[in-house]
């Protein structure tokens, strides 16, 4: 009787041990699954945080780019307005009946030189005391104004612009000549990778790496011709463009 009781207890103990073992194994599997899910969720959270940070960076970049684009558009509008005023003044009637034509031309010329100097100094960072203009012939003042415009475009736009003065240029109508040069040079600087400016009895402009799908250079030429400048037709090749402003 006692032996049978012992056997029953042993069997019950073994059954309990097996039950506990299975329960432990099941709990370990659940724990492992829970840890794997936790690790997966952690990776997902980390990935989402990285995407959030990337989106925030993109938003900041787009905001900065939009601000820069708006500022550039405003500068272009101001430039267009300034040039329009100067073009109107350059083409105004200066006949003897309206006053001294020679004095009016000289006044317009120095107004234009001051305009070029102010824009150049603002971009390059030249203090007021070093902004003087060369005295003497218009040819020397023209070369100085073009040199300053080239330097301004090189700094502000970032395009490779080079000026060569081989022979002085003394245009008969100096205000439209310089205005045309500024307008055409600006159009080339925004559409070509490299621009060369040659003064050799006339003004020769050449743009390499030229892409102008909007026809900005043709429009600038039309404006210059309408203002009284003598500008050659645009000689366009697949990757190069050339035109002249003559006296």
Kindly report, residue by residue over 190-200, the tens digit of the pLDDT: 999 999 999 99
Contact criterion met (CB below 8 Å) for 244 and 202: yes
In contact, 241 and 207? CB cutoff 8 Å: yes
Tens-digit pLDDT profile for residues 202-214: 999 999 999 999 9
pLDDT number for residue 45: 82
Which residue in 133, 214, 230, 213 sits closest to 176, CA to CA? Answer: 230
Residues of the chain falling short of pLDDT 70 = 1-10, 12, 65-66, 68-102
For residue 95, is it left (φ>0), alpha (ψ between -120 and 50) or beta? Answer: beta
pTM above 0.85, yes or no: no
Task: Give the start-end residues of each E strand in the chain.
Answer: 160-167, 194-200, 203-208, 230-231, 235-237, 240-246
Strand blocks (E) in 69-184: 160-167
CATH class of 91-246: alpha beta
CA 112/CA 186 separation, integer angstroms: 16
pLDDT score, position 246 = 92
């Amino acid at each position: 009787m006692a032996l049978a009781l012992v056997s029953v207890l042993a069997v019950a103990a073994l059954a309990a041990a097996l039950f506990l073992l299975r329960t432990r194994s099941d709990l370990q599997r659940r724990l492992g699954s829970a840890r794997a899910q936790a690790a997966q969720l952690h990776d997902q959270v980390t990935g989402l945080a990285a995407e959030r940070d990337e989106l925030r960076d993109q938003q900041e970049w787009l905001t900065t780019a939009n601000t820069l684009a708006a500022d550039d558009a405003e500068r272009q509008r101001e430039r267009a307005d300034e040039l329009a005023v100067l073009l109107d003044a350059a083409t105004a009637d200066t006949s003897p009946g309206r006053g001294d034509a020679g004095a009016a031309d000289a006044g317009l010329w120095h107004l234009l030189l001051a305009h070029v100097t102010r824009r150049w100094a603002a971009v390059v960072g030249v203090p007021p005391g070093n902004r003087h203009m060369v005295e003497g012939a218009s040819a020397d003042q023209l070369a100085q104004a073009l040199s300053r415009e080239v330097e301004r475009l090189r700094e502000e736009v970032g395009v490779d612009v080079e000026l060569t003065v081989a022979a002085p240029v003394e245009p008969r109508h100096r205000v439209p000549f310089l205005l045309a040069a500024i307008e055409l040079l600006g159009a080339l600087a925004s559409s070509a990778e490299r621009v060369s400016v040659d003064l050799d009895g006339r003004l020769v402009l050449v743009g390499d790496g030229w892409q102008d799908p909007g026809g900005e250079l043709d429009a600038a030429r039309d404006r210059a011709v309408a203002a009284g400048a003598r500008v050659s037709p645009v000689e366009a090749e697949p990757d190069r463009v050339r035109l002249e402003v003559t006296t």
